[in-house]
Amino acid sequence: MKKITLICSSLLLAASTAAFAVETHGKAALESANAAAKASDAKEIVKQASAALEHSLASAIVLKGASQKHMQSASNHLEEAINEGNLGHADQAKSHVNAAITEIQGANT
């Protein structure tokens, strides 16, 4: 009986930790992406989009199904935003950031 209790409690702990990680990283990705969308120059967009990318990738590892696909798409858009920002193309970078925000919101619902 003790083994079953230990196994069940371990599974519950793992599940709650995964859910917490998704919520934390998803929220942080959205906050950083919103900051990137409000940034005025390409360097700041790159900085904020990089932070958002870090969190979106961490979240995508734990997510499943449609939410995972949304977060992977968000990560792709954030990578493009960083590439465009590094080239000094702030408008194109913001376009990708805005697409990433839509995807992150889709993953978080």
Number of domains in the chain: 1
Mean pLDDT of the chain: 84
Q: What is the mean pLDDT of residues 14-32?
A: 68
Give the pLDDT confidence of 38-85 residue by residue, as tens digits: 998 999 999 999 999 999 999 988 888 998 999 999 999 999 999 999
**Could you tell me the CATH number of the domain that includes residue 46?**
1.20.120.660
48 and 36 Cβ atoms separated by less than 8 Å: yes
pTM comes to 0.80
Range from 19-23, 24-28, 63-67 carrying the lowest mean pLDDT: 19-23
Q: Return d(Cα 92, Cα 68) in angstroms, integer.
A: 25
| Domain range for 91 | 2-108
